Amino acid sequence: MERLVNLKLRQRFAILIFCVVAGFLLYGLWSFKTLGELKVNGPIYKEIAQGKDFVADILPPPGYIIESYLVSLQLVECEPSEQAHLIERLLNLQREYVNRHEFWQKHRLGDELTTTLLAGAHEPAMRFYAVVSDEFVPALLHENRPAVVAAMKKMKSSYALHREAIDRAVKIASHRVVLDEARASQQINFATYLMLFILVCTVSLTVLLAYLISRSVIGPLQSLQQAMKDITNSGDFSRRLVVSSDDEAGDTARIFNELIESVQLAHVAAEAASRAKSDFLANMSHEIRTPMNSIIGFSELALDNPDPKDQQIFLSQILESSNMLLGILNDILDLSKIESGRMMLDVASFDFDELLGSIERSFALRAQEAGLGFTLLRLGESGRVFLGDVLRLRQILTILLGNAVKFTSQGETSLEVKQIRVPDGKVRLEFSIQDTGIGMSAETIKNLFQPFVQADNSITRRFGGTGLGLVIARNLAQMMHGRITVESQLGVGSVFRFQVTLLDGLSVS
């Protein structure tokens, strides 16, 4: 016992775990063995079931003789036209009995049952059917009434002997079932007591070892518990444990102190992340639910209204809401690809003038619908063919210009494009998107490119959005060897600038 107390804590725990596992493993193995014997189709179950099935199996045979005897009585009283059918039935019953007797012969019945069933019961049955075929049926066919009566007496006598032998066989088999059940009960009781003994020994040894271990760890654990309670109640992460030993308890105290220090540093970051996540989930739920409700609502209206003109309006609204929902899902998928490093650029040649023309037409219309002005100013060269991912470049412009239009209630938005030739056959494209919208404070700009973040909750409620667009735009610009900067004044407007570097398609050709 003293050697056990002097062991290291990990060694004592190893001994405790070994004893618990060994005890319960032994308990489990014995339980599995016992259940294997008691389960359906197990050895004990098979013995009991076989005995009961055998008792049930030997009860029907007198039915063959009884039915044969009843058929014989019917033959005595029936019309001549029915005799052939009844005689055939009588012969079939004889064949069925012979088949059942052959079935018994294939089973190991034991000496007593073999003598009683295969000899004592079978011989009267065969005499019964011999009288039927040799005396009763010929006398009946020849209408010899006295011979029929004499044959019936012999048949009745044979049936009585057969029945008496069957009753003895049933008693023997039933007694065997009782013995099997008693033996099974003894085995179950023995297995139960043994499992209980194993369980008691395992639990007792576990309690003893647990007590010895607790004597050396309860004090440090109580100190640790009290420190955790103090930190939980007060929120004071400056609380530290006193390291009083070099064993596992001392190591635990040192690790706890280091953990509290790291928790103290991560606490502020975790709160910020939690708020951002909650805001994102709330915003995303609203952003997805809004177009979905629109799609469902206008679909129901279109189904209920047969007017083609109204249906055209409803379908237009459904298409608009579907595109809105698709944009939200694309933003989520793009951010997922970016964060997992699976976002790839599809580099191909494209006409820059065609891209700008498409952007100008699209946002001039959107600005006009919002009551705003829109201008496009190009500086430097024009009409160039570049190598790059035109879809991602368009996506950056769409995000920044879309925000400019969304957050501007009056005034105008503008896009300024400048082309600068750089070495190695490349061109740097500099874009400037300016608006006269709500603007942003310096504090807001610090967190502007963080995922799921907008200026504040009031902005989300007023303008909507997921807060993912600028994050996606910044990462796409970085993939094109560029970056996005912003200048803004609250209540005046904002200017977003970004540049990307592309290969000159003509120089490459």
Lowest mean pLDDT among 19-23, 320-324, 398-402: 19-23
Of 308, 334, 360, the residue at which a domain comes to its end is: 334
The pLDDT, as a whole number, for residue 434 is: 93
CB 58 within 8 A of CB 117: yes
* Identity of the highest mean pLDDT range in 27-31, 109-113, 407-411: 407-411
- Answer yes or no: is 425 within a domain: yes
Predicted pLDDT of residue 495: 93
Structure confidence by residue, pLDDT tens digits, 478-503: 888 888 999 988 888 999 999 988 88
Count how many Cα atoms sit within 13 Å of the Cα of residue 15 in the half-sphere of its side chain. 16
Is there a single domain that holds both residue 388 and residue 351?
Answer: yes
Task: Check if the beta carbon of residue 335 is closer than 8 Å to that of residue 452.
Answer: no
Residues 268, 274, 277, 279: is their CA dihedral positive or negative? negative
CA 279 remoteness from chain centre: 28
d(CA 402, CA 469): 10
Tens of pLDDT, residue by residue over 429-459, are: 899 999 998 888 888 887 777 765 555 555 5
User: What span, in angstroms and rounded, lies between the C-alpha atoms of 253 and 257?
Assistant: 6
Residue 318: give the domain boundaries: 248-334
**Dihedral (C-alpha) 376, 380, 386, 390: value to the nearest 10 degrees?**
-20
Q: Are 262 and 406 part of one and the same domain?
A: no
For residue 110, the model assigns a pLDDT of: 67
For residues 357 and 329, membership in a common domain is answered with no
Q: What are phi and psi of 187, to 5 degrees?
A: -65, -40
Q: pLDDT digit string (tens) for 298-307?
A: 888 888 888 8
Per the domain annotation, does 340 fall within a domain?
no
CA distance 471 to 483: 11
pLDDT of 12 reads 65
309 shares its domain with 393: no
Angstrom distance (rounded) from CA 169 to CA 117:
6
Total domain count for the chain? 3
- Within 8 A by CB and 6+ apart from 478, the residues are none
pLDDT digit string, tens, across residues 95-149? 887 787 777 777 666 667 777 766 777 788 888 888 888 888 888 888 788 888 8
Phi, psi of 371 (to 5 degrees): 75, 30
If asked whether residues 328 and 363 sit together in one domain, one would say no
Q: Outline where 341-484 has alpha helix (H).
A: 352-369, 390-406, 442-446, 457-463, 469-479
Residue 8 in any domain: the answer is: no
Within this chain, do residues 269 and 398 fall inside the same structural domain, yes or no? no
- Distance, CA of 170 to CA of 178 (rounded, Å): 12
Mean pLDDT of the chain: 77
Q: Which of 149, 180, 204 is the last residue of a domain?
A: 204
Same domain, 410 and 283: no
Residue 306 CB coordination number (10 Å):
8
Q: Are residues 84 and 56 in the same domain?
A: yes
Flag whether pLDDT at 417 surpasses 70: yes
The answer to whether position 226 is within a domain reads no
Domain match, 443 and 467 both: yes
Encoded amino acid at 219, one letter: G
- The pLDDT tens digits of the residues spanning 254-280 come to 787 788 778 777 776 677 667 766 766
- Are 385 and 347 within 8 A, CB to CB? no
Clarify whether residues 351 and 293 are in a common domain: no
Domain containing residue 489: CATH number? 3.30.565.10
User: Is 218 part of a structural domain of the chain?
Assistant: no
Q: How far apart are CA 504 and CA 423, in angstroms?
A: 10
User: Is 84 exposed, middle or buried (CB count within 10 Å of its CB: 0-12, 13-18, 19+)?
Assistant: exposed
Residues 264/240, Cβ–Cβ less than 8 Å: no
- What is the rounded distance in angstroms from the CA atom of residue 359 to the CA atom of residue 365? 10
Asked, for residue 35, whether it belongs to a domain, the answer is yes
Largest CA distance in the chain: 136
More confident residue, 135 or 28: 135
Write the CATH number for 72.
1.20.120
Distance CA 388, CA 480 (A): 8
- 478: tokens are 């970085």
pLDDT tens, residue by residue, 36-89:
665 555 666 666 666 566 555 555 455 677 788 788 888 878 877 788 888 888
User: Is there a single domain that holds both residue 299 and residue 366?
Assistant: no
**Phi, psi (5° rounding) for residue 342?**
-105, 10
Q: Is residue 219 one of the residues assigned to a domain?
A: no
- Asked whether residue 223 is domain-assigned, the answer is no
Task: Say yes or no: 357 and 328 in one domain.
Answer: no
